[in-house]
Structure 1
Amino acid sequence: MRKRPFSILLLLPLLFGLISCAKAQTITTGAEQMDKYLSLLEGKRVGILANPTSIVGDRHLVDTLIQRGIQIKKAFGPEHGFRGNASAGIKVGDEIDEATGIKIISLYGKKRKPSEEDLKDLDIMIFDIQDVGCRFYTYINVLRDVMEACAEHKKPMLILDRPNPNGYIIDGPILDMRLKSGIGQFPIPMTHGMTIGEFAQMINGEGWLPGGMKTDITIIPVQNYHHDMHYELPVKPSPNLNTPQSILLYPTLCLFEGTIISQGRGTLTPFTILGAPLLKGKYDFQFTPKSIKGMAETPLHQDQACYGLDLREFDTAHFRKTGRIQIEWMIELYKAYPAKDKFFDRSQSKQMGNIDYLAGVYEFRKQIESGATAEEIRASWEPGLSQYKEMRKKYLLYP
């Protein structure tokens, strides 16, 4: 009996089904869903807090909105500036945007939140910035400051939500509010597992604005996003988070800013490598930090060979599997460092932060110095971490 050829027609329903499924699962950021929020902006005088991550396709959101006839009255720039051309920690001044002629008011210079004067000629404020899910990353503090200003001066706020690339990591000690600072403003763990939109709801819901004020917020959620999924940012969120690997390693490696260990600032692969000159002979891998304009002008251990860990090939799926930051590297490098009294000595460099403020608790440094294990350190984060996870559920927009 002659065999009949397998018809491709039998495959078409399956192929179309797969294509439809893939399309249905495409992540669509809040900014990309213009049909849901343009009506809120039409005829209004609009302010916007934005930076280079505020994109729609391959264009800046501001450029896109202006093309759509929206009146952008002024823009506000956070750390690194509106166009992202300032290094970490460098104060930014007010300026006029060359591309649009719009006045840009810096919130990382003389002031940290919009003034009454800044807001008086606005009808609504847009917040659209990509976050990376860490307590010590700058943008949740900016969010709170802008929310406070809008609440004080009765201005509604439109939040265009974006995925959290580290949304599956909820870990670290809860901030001891005695250590409240510019790198820790809220009683949350080091990695909070929320998007900007969800975090805004938490700020309102937990009464974290002065006097229990609440901001009138409208959130445009991300479509087809859940916290456990892998999401690769289409644009770097800041100059030193310039690769997908650096973004996923950042929650762990930023802690080393409170130590004598370089995180690779002053190289083209920051936050993917760790090392210091005194680790020579302990590790074979080496790198030499250099001054790089726009990234790190005066990096720690500038022009000195550093020896340590190369994490550029580290399987970051580990974080998704465990939901934990990798404090084991801190333990390892402290044990390897020959001058232990200098490991946490922030007087060694103006670039170094204070480990107590970064960790958010006084105990972490003492635990590392005493030789505590990773599991013993993590056990000390309870019950606060579990209580936070339960509280967080009230504000989630995504599974």
Structure 2
Amino acid sequence: MKNFLFVSIISSILIFWGCSSGTQIINISELEYPEDLKVITRAKWGWQPLVNSVPQHIINKITIHHEGEEFAEGKDMIQYLRNLQSWSRSEKKWIDIPYHFVIDLNGNIYEARPINLPGDTNTEYDVRGHALICVVGNYEIQTIKETQLKALAKLIAFLKQKYNVDYKDIKGHKDYSKMTVCPGKNLYKYLADGSLLEMVKSEVNKTVEIVPVKVKTGIEVLRDRNFDILKDKRIGLVTNPTGVDSKLKSTIDILFEAKEVNLTALYGPEHGVRGNYSAGDFVDFYIDDATKLPVYSLYGKTRKPNSDMLKDVDVLVFDIQDIGSRSYTYISTMGLIMEAAAENNKEVIILDRPNPLGGNRVEGNLVEDGYYSFVSQFSIPYVHGLTVGELAKLLNEEGLLNNKVKCNLTVVPMEGWTREMYFEQTKLPWVLTSPHVPHNYSPFDYALSGIIGELRGVLSIGVGYTIPFQTFATEWINGEELAKKMNSYNLEGVIFRPITYQPYYGFGKDKMLHGVEVYITDYTNIKLMPIQFYFAQAVNELYGRNIISENEGRFDMFDKVLGTSKIRELFMQRLMVDDILPYLNKDVENFRTISKKYYLYKCY
């Protein structure tokens, strides 16, 4: 197990009980795991948010359980967890699954109850302070597998170090209760003879051998340089809640508090400087409560700052986390401020941040004449494979800004980032970039479903439910059939499983939808953009329906996001993905060659 930064992020979920009873705030601890400890998060398996809570506790023990019933090979683990959660709440009247983690027959680890809330038990022992781990199966009868033991040891080692648990407090359920044989003799023997603890110690010892490379973002590098390039200049900051350092301190506050920096104005993109506006909401000028600085909206009456908005600044500093897809509007805002700076003789400084899709992935055609818009502002592929700093350099030098203007551009590079890195490997905290991109893996989901998601009123892609951009579902689809058909295409790096759910808002609100949930198994080799078109192909093959044609009123936005009408037109001839792949990929290699001139980071 590699060394890692222990981070625990507390998120607050607001539960509304109705007009007369107010709001309950439930705090949930979200753990970040080391790279070699693969944990399937609650969000990934469709965990339902808490509606009740209990007093929080502090972990000081780790206790091992087994399920107590034989668990068949091939049994659907995701459905088991969902059923267990439903049973725990409806039949047992517990707040959630009684365990904090569950390990399946193949050694896969699943998050269950939030770790900061004590578990539950049918026996007499007090579970407060215990991190509860359940291994599915009955180990009075079944034999524990080596893969399960290894996963158990890795998980225990992680929890032991995070919560400073003493080895003597790593025990089995039966050590605390006379009412049970849990976790079963065939698992408990590894505790009794000390061999499991030796495996845990081996994992713990590994963590001190390897020092990880931690990525520093542009704002942290600039701070280390004592803000040298900002001194004696009036600074305008273009940012939003994603502009933070590794300790989650806002770039606004960092610059505002720095004696070397004269911060004079703030500029907010879509969702606003503080993230308090919904997607598509227009934002007006206002004064920031914390700093008393003027906040100019770049998603209101104007998306490009005018001369009056720039009169009190010499330099525009851009610090926003992007997600690597062309239709995500933060890079459009970046390009427009570069144009405004060129036209008004202002400097631009980009504080660089990771591309969460990595720096090697390029997918999609270039934007064509007639299809430029705020969701396709520049002639680049849909998935461009560049950091915002690299992209800014390319836009500036390749004449892609309006009228081929060039601004006085400086990029403050990151330290420690390489092109193979996905966001989770950076050891940086992920701040949701918008309400439906809440996780560091969400940018992958956005790219594989967001285009067909523009056909609103036709299908759900999970927006409005707990797994945004991770489903394809309607009322009339048979999930089992669709999953079988999608998996028959043998798409690399992804599998599909049937799902039924009821969205809380948006398409399908209060209706039962059926379809598939997307599981990425190989983040390196998966091809993202075609997946949504394979869904449309499958719908035609199963039901004889052209789902794209079912909302012609959205063709304009669908084509704008794709940067062309040709993809739609080619696909609708036979509804076959093979017909669009040549066009979709036609610009990839040429763009890759051009973009390499602007790489700031190595590829190992």
Compute the TM-score of the two structures, normalised by the length of structure 1: 0.86
Structure 1 contact 135–188 (Cα < 8 Å) conserved: yes
Shift of 1:156: 0.7
Which of 1 and 2 has greater Rg?
2
> One-letter code of the match for 2:500?
Q
The alignment status of 1:184 with 2:184, answered yes or no, reads no
Report Cα offsets for 1:359-399 as digits up to 9, x if no partner: 22222223332346544422233542211111111111112
Tell me which stretches of 4 or more aligned residues in structure 1 moved more than 4 Å: 14-17, 280-284
Distance 1:372-1:241 versus aligned 2 partners, 3 A rule: same
- Aligned 1:18-33 pairs, distance under 5 A: 18-19=210-211, 22=212, 25-33=213-221
Match of 2:525 in 1: 321
Q: Following TM superposition, by how much is the alpha carbon of 1:169 offset from its aligned partner in structure 2, in angstroms? A: 1.9
Q: Where do 1:42-57 residues align within 5 Å?
A: 42-56=231-245, 57=247
Contact 2:571–2:579, Cα closer than 8 Å, also in 1: no
Residues 346 and 353, structure 1, Cα contact 8 Å, conserved in 2: no
Residue 500 of structure 2, aligned match among 253, 268, 286:
286
Contact 1:245–1:272 at 8 Å: present in 2 too?
Answer: no
- Name the counterpart of 1:261: 459
Residue 63 of structure 1 is aligned with which of 228, 235, 253? 253
Contact between 1:261 and 1:343, CA under 8 Å: does it hold in 2? no
State yes or no: 1:38 paired with 2:196.
no
Task: Please name the residue that 1:363 is paired with.
Answer: 566
* Residue 248, structure 1, aligned to residue 449, structure 2: no
Paired residue secondary structure (1:279): coil
Cα distance in structure 2, aligned partners of 1:78 and 1:177: 25
2:357 paired residue among 166, 177, 198: 166
Q: What are structure 1's unaligned runs of at least 5 residues?
A: 1-13, 292-298
What's the counterpart of residue 108 of structure 1?
299
- Cα distance in 1, alignment partners of residues 388 and 444 from structure 2: 17
Q: Which moved more, 1:353-362 or 1:135-144?
A: 353-362
One-letter code of the match for 2:306?
Answer: S
- Bigger drift between 279-288 and 145-154 goes to 279-288
Look up the SS of the partner of 1:49 in the other structure.
Answer: strand
Matched, 1:89 2:292: no
Aligned to 1:276: 474
CA distance in 1 between partners of 2:477 and 2:570 (Å): 21
Deviations 1:52-93 (A, max 9, x none): 000022110111222222222110000011111211111112
SS in 2 for 1:31: helix
**Distance in structure 2 (CA, Å) of the matches to 1:372 and 1:44:** 56
**Alignment RMSD:** 2.3
Distance 1:90 1:49 in 2: 18
SS in 1 for 2:394: helix
Note the C-alpha offset of 1:248: 1.8
Matched AA of 1:77 = G
Distance 1:152 1:303, change over 3 A: same
Shift of 1:36: 2.9
SS at match of 2:218: coil
In 2, are the aligned partners of 1:158 and 1:217 still within 8 Å (CA)?
A: yes
SS of residue matched to 1:381: helix
TM-score, scaled relative to structure 2: 0.58
Gaps of 5+ in 2: 1-205, 483-497
- Pick from 574, 581, 587 the counterpart of residue 384 of structure 1: 587
Alpha-carbon distance change, 336 to 214 in structure 1, aligned in 2, over 3 angstroms? same
SS class of match (1:117): coil
Contact 1:261-1:276 within 8 A present in 2 as well: yes
Are 1:346 and 2:551 matched, yes or no?
Answer: yes
The Cα shift of 1:103 comes to 1.4
Q: Which amino acid aligns with 1:52?
A: P
Q: Match of 1:395?
A: 598
Alignment deviations for residues 336-377 of structure 1 (CA, whole Å, 9 cap, x no partner): 2647355344356x7x87322222222222333234654442
Residue 195 of structure 2 is matched in structure 1 by none
Matched, 1:307 2:521: no
- The Cα offsets for residues 304-354 of structure 1, whole Å up to 9 and x where unpaired, read as 22221112x432x24x124x3251342234432647355344356x7x873
